[in-house]
Structure 1
């Protein structure tokens, strides 16, 4: 984790406007983490599908990838490997990566064989349970990651592909939200085009993780390795943003990252004057840009005309007491139309980004993994 506060620049859509009780506002936040940080140890849980559909090259490449990942994991990383088919199997739990332990881990991976169906829910439940236990026992590694690899639909808690209203989806998403509560994200790797795209994408999104699509066996191997390399280079693990209404109520409507890739972010309304959002983890050297959109409901009696008014308090917490950025968002209210000023570029950008986000949502429901990756950008290549 970086000890240096990143560069942060915040632009806003409304700069000088007429006074009103309801004001739309959009913020464009740019964050540049330090690029000069070495790979760091993390707490990792790998959930590997070994059901019958993974037989052959898929499983062979996944195993080869796991072995390569073990070779490059930073010392003191805590390694957990759970395989799942009709049952789940705790292959390794809470093993610290050292020069001597790597060879033992590799031998255990070599012995993995395919079998059975796909108990994905039970595996995810186990993975989140390991994170919960680690946090409650005082684990000191800041970065905590679950990596879920699967090529099929779950057969334990079944869901209907193409029907996002199926209530069983919420059982999976609740686990994703619990992981987020423990400052852990879930990266999902959809192997080939046969996985449940909506399920895997939403698990990642709702935990502020990454959805990664592997089109073939070679990509499965390569992208798993890259995802682990990216995790080891996290500069800030799931920073949070808090918005506080100063002159009235706030309604945060949407938040999305659009660089290096496009994805909506979890956010919630705490009360009428407080809302927050969770960012994706920031990796060293990448450029991150986030759009936040909402409405302000102001008490006009508190507005001072022709001077800047503090309307919002913004705080970004990068995970340490000394790693917070606080900034007031101000707007000038005027009766003179010649002074009115809006940043139309932000509004245009918002329309484009959220149009892409809606298109991604449609693609995931249809089960179109290729289109999802094309629009959002490849998480392992960072194509924005």
Structure 2
């Protein structure tokens, strides 16, 4: 990962406003990681669906993709491969990538065949067990990733497609949140539109990973490779943003990323004055833009007018010791309407991005993978 704090710039909606008990504020945050970062080794767990529906070209393309990925993985990467069908199989566990181990891994991948049904929950649970053990033994690799590839509905812990209130979904989502606790994200690759889109999308979102849709067998192969290349170019893994109000209580809506792709990132309320959001990993050379919107509740009697008043502190933790930066947000309160200054463009932008995020949520519940990808942007192409 990078040892250099990225460029961070913040635009705000409220610049000079009248004094009020309730102050609306919107922020447009731009983050630019250094582009001159070499590929870096990481800890990875690949979960490959080998159930009957993955047979034929799907599985062969997935295997070819894995073999190509082995060739491009940086030396020192820790490689784990789990296949799942009616049961879960640990094919490769904690193998460090070297010239010698690459050949041994490829032989094992070539021997994989399809069979059975889709024990997706059990496979995800196994990946968390491996991740948990690595984290608790102080594994040295800062970048940690689980990659889940599937084309079907889970058959071990069933969920009902189109019914997001099915309580079984929460069992999967708890695993996604646990991955986040161990500083790992889960990238999900949904193959050919026959997977549970809502399940795969939410697993990725809740763990700050990527949801990737492969429309055909060839895309399955190439997008798996690109996702691995992107992981090796992560500049900052598991970054967080803490927002603290200086003048009173605060209520924040979701953060909404709109570059390079569209995704909502919910805030966790720490206390009345502080909230925290887990951000997507930042990759070398990409531009990240995030919108934050909320309200600050203040005591008007304690606000000094006609001067800059510090209202917020934004603490960026870039996931590595010493890589933190605090940005301060000031507002001028005035009784002179001729001085009022607002940047309404940020509010309009937030409304548009939030609307897109809502549309994505509707598409995932309907199971429309192509529409989901079209609105959010292709995670393997990073289209604006």
Give the TM-score, by structure 1 length: 0.99
Q: What residue in structure 2 maps to residue 90 of structure 1?
A: 90
Which 5+ residue runs of structure 2 have no aligned equivalent?
A: none
- Whether 2:370 is the aligned partner of 1:370: answer yes
**Cα displacement string for residues 187-246 of structure 1 (whole angstroms, at most 9, x for unaligned residues):** 000000100000000000000000000000000000000000000000000210111110
Listed as ranges, the matches of 1:48-87 within 5 Å are: 48-87=48-87
Q: Is the partner of 1:116 in helix, strand or coil? A: coil
Q: Is the partner of 1:188 in helix, strand or coil? A: strand
Equivalent-residue separation in structure 2 for 1:372 and 1:210 (angstroms):
12
- Whether 2:319 is the aligned partner of 1:315: answer no
Q: What residue in structure 2 maps to residue 179 of structure 1?
A: 179
Q: What residue in structure 1 maps to residue 33 of structure 2?
A: 33
Q: What residue in structure 2 maps to residue 325 of structure 1?
A: 325
Q: Is the partner of 1:100 in helix, strand or coil? A: helix
Q: What residue in structure 1 maps to residue 284 of structure 2?
A: 284
Alpha-carbon contact 2:74-2:97 (below 8 Å) kept: yes
Q: Is the partner of 1:66 in helix, strand or coil? A: helix
Equivalent-residue separation in structure 1 for 2:92 and 2:66 (angstroms):
13
Equivalent-residue separation in structure 1 for 2:163 and 2:322 (angstroms):
45
Listed as ranges, the matches of 1:253-268 within 5 Å are: 253-268=253-268
- Whether 2:212 is the aligned partner of 1:212: answer yes
Equivalent-residue separation in structure 2 for 1:266 and 1:127 (angstroms):
24
Deviation at 1:265, TM superposition (A): 1.2
Q: What residue in structure 1 maps to residue 22 of structure 2?
A: 22
Q: What residue in structure 2 maps to residue 44 of structure 1?
A: 44
Q: What residue in structure 2 maps to residue 382 of structure 1?
A: 382
Give the TM-score, by structure 2 length: 0.99
May I ask how many residue pairs the two structures share in their alignment? 384
Q: What residue in structure 2 maps to residue 148 of structure 1?
A: 148
Q: Is the partner of 1:81 in helix, strand or coil? A: strand
**Cα displacement string for residues 129-177 of structure 1 (whole angstroms, at most 9, x for unaligned residues):** 1111110001010000000000000000000000000000000000000
- Give RMSD over aligned pairs: 0.7
Deviation at 1:313, TM superposition (A): 0.9
Equivalent-residue separation in structure 1 for 2:176 and 2:320 (angstroms):
23
Q: Is the partner of 2:253 in helix, strand or coil? A: strand
Q: What residue in structure 2 maps to residue 243 of structure 1?
A: 243
Alpha-carbon contact 1:208-1:266 (below 8 Å) kept: no
Which 5+ residue runs of structure 1 have no aligned equivalent?
A: none
Equivalent-residue separation in structure 2 for 1:302 and 1:55 (angstroms):
68
Deviation at 1:294, TM superposition (A): 1.1
Alpha-carbon contact 2:253-2:266 (below 8 Å) kept: no
